[in-house]
Amino acid sequence: MTVYQPPMVGADGTLYVSTSDSHLRALSPVDGSALWSLPATQSQNAAGAVDGSGDVILPAGSSVLAATPAGAALWSLHMSNSSLSSSPAVAPDGSVYVVTTAGLDAIDPTGHLAWNAVLAGGNSIPSPTVAPDGTVYAGDGPALHAFTPGGAPIWSVTPGSGPSILAWVAIGPDGTLYAVNTYVSSAIYALSPVDGSTKWVLDIGGNYGSAPAIGADGTVYVSLNTALYALRPNGTELWAHPASTACGAPAIGGDGAVYAVCDGHLIAFGP
């Protein structure tokens, strides 16, 4: 058996992985022993998610399935004539949002398709992001779109100029959206959640950008081109860690420490 995607981690530390034999498996965080397994329709083709109740949401081929922390199947939804291309996002009310080749799909907490929004980017669309108030953000290439929980469009903007792929939208404590351009130039945009207008942009050239991570104080950590940056909420630089190659996406620990892989080393930075 092979595991192709990152593990999902439950609140109690249980690890959930999808294996190449089309099973969802739960593993003990203590010794990695198997706790249970559940057949999936196909092997996982994107990272999954764990919702607020501890249920596991798994994208597998052209289906999405949900299971309880104890391994009981909750529901499975086959996405007709489309395949999943990104990780799911789970809203506070339990709704699940996924991107397929047919666009942005909303699945209600019982596993039924609620609505679909056609997007232009096809299977290159990054994963959606859900705000605490239920607003859904999804990019489809150069544009970023905002939808109500019911699927009504709120706004659509194209920040910057020229071709771009706006990926990995993160949300700051004040609701500010941080979207990374990963196509022509390494740039991060800070956008207003009200209308999508640009608050500031940091464009350093190059062609690499990672998913940003937002600290509790609003500090923005992001890898752009060949450096890991810490930015104040207003876009000014706190510090930068240069590397010979692109650093991986940063992660923030419970104590505020920042972790990133740079030049083949896992490095811990003080907050």
Residues 99-149: pLDDT tens digits?
Answer: 887 789 999 999 999 999 988 755 456 789 999 999 999 987 778 899 999
As a whole number, mean pLDDT of residues 22-31 equals: 88
| 11 burial via Cβ count (<10 Å: 0-12, 13-18, 19+) | exposed
- Assess if CATH 3.30.1370.60 describes domain 159-271: no
Q: What is the pLDDT of residue 184?
A: 61
Q: If you average pLDDT over every residue of the chain, what do you get?
A: 86
> What does the domain layout of the chain look like in residue ranges?
159-271
Per-residue pLDDT, 207: 74
SS3 for 44?
Answer: strand
| pLDDT (0 to 100) of residue 166 | 67
Quick one: CA dihedral 87, 59, 35, 108, positive or negative? positive
Is the per-residue pLDDT at 246 higher than 90?
no
Q: What is the mean pLDDT of residues 87-106?
A: 89
Both tokens of residue 266? 């896992």
pLDDT of residue 50: 92
Q: Is the pLDDT of residue 70 over 80?
A: yes
| Mean pLDDT within 67-75 | 94
Evaluated on CA atoms 50, 56, 59, 62, the torsion sign reads negative
CA distances from 18 to 25, 62, 76, 233 (A): 6, 15, 15, 37
- pTM of the shown model: 0.87
Out of 181-185, 191-195, 256-260, give the one with best mean pLDDT. Answer: 191-195
